[in-house]
Amino acid sequence: MTENSKSALEGLKVLEMGSLIAGPFCTRILADFGATVVKIELPKHGDQLRKWRVLKDGVSLWWYVQSRNKKAISLDVRTADGLEIFKKLLKECDVLVENFRPGTLGKWGLSEAVLKEINPRLITCHISGYGQDGPYKDRAGYGAIGEAMGGLRYLTGYPDLPPTRVGISIGDSVASLYSVIGILMALYHRDVNNGDSQKIDVALYESIFSLMESMLPEYDVAGVVRERTGSTLPGIAPSNIYKTKNDHYVVIAANGDNIFQRLLKVINREDLVGDKRFLTNDQRAEHVTYIDDLIQKWTLNYSVKECVDILNENGIPAGAIYSIEDMVTDPQFKSRNMIIEAPHPDFGTLKVPGIVPKLNKTPGKVKWLGPKEIGADNKEVLKSIGLSDYQIAQLKSNNII
């Protein structure tokens, strides 16, 4: 993309009233592809994410990634003056994203009717634990709770141990992705199909539940309750992790019918090629323990790298289990520009994740990282809606910004 090329979402104006993960991750994706995102934080303390995980000079390293490409302002919308400024900002926006508990905006005087009156073409995206209605709507809902209620935690771990977490806040992130999808669909309806404003309602537990594959129809028709199975993939064979000779593990997913026949040759079990017990997945699933034992005996003779190289040379899906140290040195990550070194005023540069998805004509771009200072863009943003230097100074002295 040349410097003069337009971004995919150039011209789209987004107002973010969110904190932590779900709302801010949604708007980060929009900002990566050129949307003008104005992030609103409370004065003094700002987004709680600023103090999460690993801090450097008092600021979370995660913050710089989550708030990249955004304009950050501080504004207390709970005050009369702050609310008026918010309304002025809202008039100029296409999209409002918020991830507070349902009803919070209404308490501040921003009901759906008021929002539509301020901006009749506004797309509003509400992200919450349980959705905007239903008996649980007023409960506090973090990603962990959505993962539990949506079924993911029940399936994660080994059958003889308590359920465990995935390792990241996947409930928030999946809800963010659905929010982006919903926003783009609503914008298409508004701008292409002559629609108008629309409300998007994304619940964390529903976002996770939607990923649960065949769990519901299996229970409905066959009474099957899917359980924790550790590293195996129930009903799919073979798909597991296998120990190598250096006590590391390789992931092998040879569950395609033809792929498994090739695998038998690679592990020196040509005698089983064409065996009726292993020709189709449903047959292999009945003999998964036997198959896993065959593969395990073979992988113990090789290192992870040797296993991965041999298997991939024979068209069998296999891979090492990467740590972040592996990722930053891997040639695939580098060639796909998934490790970006972005300029940072204090560190010189900071490595951050690259852009997903990749568009060949209007790709996303990391233009800047999240600002360290709360309200870093107050003057620029507030002047753009007509406020003077004096008015901005007064707002600051009154702790409204």
Q: What angle do CA 343, 346, 352 make, to 5 degrees?
A: 40
Using an 8 Å Cβ cutoff, are 380 and 75 in contact? no
What are the two backbone dihedrals, phi and then psi, of residue 80, each rounded to the nearest 5 degrees? -60, -45
CA distance 313 to 317: 10
Distance of CA 116 to the CA centre of its chain: 29
As a three-state string, the secondary structure of 171-210 is HHHHHHHHHHHHHHHHHHHHHCCCCCCEEEEEEHHHHHHC
Quote the radius of gyration of the chain (alpha carbons, Å).
25
Which sign, positive or negative, has the C-alpha torsion 22, 120, 37, 56?
negative
| CA separation for the pair 24, 12 (Å, rounded) | 16
Asked if 246 and 314 touch (Cβ cutoff 8 Å), the reply is: no
Q: How far apart are CA 215 and CA 197, in angstroms?
A: 35
* Residue 216, amino acid: L
What secondary structure, in 3-state letters, does 4-52 show? CCCCCCCCCEEEEECCCCHHHHHHHHHHHCCCEEEEEECCCCCCHHHHC
Q: Is residue 172 among the annotated active site residues?
A: yes
Coil/strand/helix, residue 139: coil
Catalytic residue among 32, 76, 172, 292: 172
Query: In the block, which residue shows the tokens 């292993």?
Result: 278
Task: Report the alpha-carbon distance of residue 148 to residue 205 in Å, rounded.
Answer: 8
Please give the positions annotated as active site: 172
